Structure 1
């Protein structure tokens, strides 16, 4: 099955790298779905339809979070940088710069 998720010949990539690429693609797809649901919910006048969409949005949040956790477990440096940014008060940019410097 052809795919454009690889930037290198797939047959030259390890199984681990191919799995990582699949999870990155899935994460991106979940983020896109979250954006779509946010847009749909913002314009949907029917309360029942909006409630179903909100329930679906929660599923997308869950899937995104699970995929992100998988990727962070696979890449310790990414996890370390994320810990310095996620769920922190203050400037996101400043936290990011500090986390990146600390991880180097």
Structure 2
């Protein structure tokens, strides 16, 4: 079993922490796959192949979103900060700074 996702000895980590690390690794892999599909779609000349890739891209979006929600449900501070940034209009950095500051006040 690979342990390159761990920065501490896996045997010293709780089961919850190992699950969290696996989900973080999966989230990163989905983000990477999304980037690959976007690149492939942008250069693929065959319309049918592009359509198939776009369908696959939708699956990656779904997987990324499910993994992110899993992590947010288990990390209240992350969820609180994310709620102040995601699905808002305006300056992303300003929302980020305000959300982080507000979460730090708890």
TM-score bracket for the superposition, by shorter chain length: over 0.9
1:24 alignment partner in structure 2 = 24
Kindly report structure 1 stretches of 4+ aligned residues shifted beyond 4 Å.
Answer: none
C-alpha distance after superposition, 1:11-32 (max 9, x if no partner):
0000000000000000000000
Q: Give RMSD over aligned pairs.
A: 0.4
TM-score, normalized by length of structure 1?
Answer: 0.99
C-alpha distance after superposition, 1:54-96 (max 9, x if no partner):
0000000000000000000000000000000000111000000
Map 1:1-20 → 2, pairs under 5 A: 1-20=1-20
- Where does structure 2 lack aligned partners over 5 or more consecutive residues? none
Distance 2:54 2:48 in 1: 10
TM-score, normalized by length of structure 2?
Answer: 0.97
1:34 alignment partner in structure 2 = 34
C-alpha contact 2:3 2:10 (8 A) present in aligned 1: no
